């Protein structure tokens, strides 16, 4: 009986040692609490307030104006992007008929009403719109990025797509224009225009 009891006690001691040894390993717990994930920012910022900013006045036949409009575009976000520039809603208003226009054959179209007259300026005015990469105030094909060159009447749609623009980059956006020297008084007092739409989309590696 004593022998059995001694064996039992010895077995319990061995189990206790083994069990105690299980809790003797080194340990070093760490925690990472309150983690957050923040989306990046893409922000194309022109130095205008979003209202109509392009105003060309006293446009005449044969007239040319280099760098008539300029604004600085900035990627004000914290990530690289692609710049896209679209043009929309070209307008070509007659803005009334002056006597010299009528004398040169300008008339109201059969499709026009007395309050909606079609002009001729947009079909006789060529614009050169570009990103002045080297910032020398003049378009040079080898140095700059051409956005659109053509008549105002044809300026609708996407004209620049996927132009890389890294974080904090700035582009000088410029417009030049030329009016056909052969056009006569039919453009007198006409008003042409268009909308500029810009977007910056993320670069995906």
SS3 189: coil
The Cα 91–Cα 121 span in angstroms is 10
The string of pLDDT tens digits covering residues 69-89 is 888 999 999 999 999 999 998
Which of 91, 83, 97, 84 minimizes the C-alpha distance to 54?
91
Query: What SS3 class is residue 29?
Result: coil
Output the pTM of the full model.
0.78
Q: Which H/E stretch holds residue 22?
A: helix 2-22
Q: In what order do the strands lie in the sheet with 81-93?
A: 157-165, 81-93, 191-202
Q: Which distant-in-sequence residues (6+ apart) come within 8 Å of 130 by Cβ? A: 139, 144, 145, 146, 147, 173, 174
Kind and range of the H or E run holding 64: strand 64-75
Q: Which residues contact 196 (CB under 8 A, 6 or more apart)?
A: 54, 85, 86, 87
State the residue for tokens 């060529």: 126
pLDDT of residue 175: 93
In the Cβ-directed half-sphere of 23, how many Cα atoms lie within 13 Å? 4
What domains does the chain contain, in order, with CATH numbers? 44-202 (2.60.40)
Partners of 202 in beta bridges: 81
Give the chain's mean pLDDT: 82
Q: 121-174, pLDDT tens digit by residue?
A: 999 999 999 999 998 999 999 999 999 999 999 998 878 988 999 999 999 999
Q: Is-contact 75 165, C-beta < 8 A?
A: yes
DSSP run (H or E) holding 163: strand 157-165
d(CA 40, CA 56): 38
More confident residue, 161 or 3: 161
* DSSP secondary structure letters along 67-126: EEEEEEEEE-SSS-EEEEEEEEEEEEE--S--HHHHHTT----TT-BTTB-B-SSTTSEE
């Amino acid at each position: 009986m004593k022998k059995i009891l001694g064996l039992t006690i010895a077995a319990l001691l061995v189990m206790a040692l083994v069990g105690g040894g299980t809790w003797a390993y080194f340990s070093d717990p760490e925690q990472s609490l309150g983690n957050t994930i923040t989306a990046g920012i893409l922000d194309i910022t022109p130095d205008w307030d979003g209202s109509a900013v392009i105003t060309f006045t006293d446009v005449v036949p044969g007239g040319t104006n280099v760098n008539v409009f300029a604004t600085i575009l900035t990627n004000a976000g914290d990530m690289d992007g692609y710049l896209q520039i679209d043009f929309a809603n070209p307008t070509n208003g007659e803005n009334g008929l002056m006597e010299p226009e009528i004398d040169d054959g300008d008339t109201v179209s059969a499709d026009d009403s007395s309050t909606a007259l079609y002009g001729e300026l947009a079909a006789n005015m060529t614009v050169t719109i570009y990103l002045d990469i080297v910032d020398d105030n003049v378009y040079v094909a080898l140095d700059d990025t051409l956005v659109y060159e053509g008549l105002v009447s044809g300026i609708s749609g996407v004209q620049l797509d996927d132009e890389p623009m890294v974080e904090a980059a700035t582009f000088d956006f410029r417009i030049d224009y030329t009016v056909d020297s052969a056009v006569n008084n039919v453009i007198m007092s006409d008003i042409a225009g268009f909308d500029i739409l810009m977007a910056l989309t993320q670069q995906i590696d």
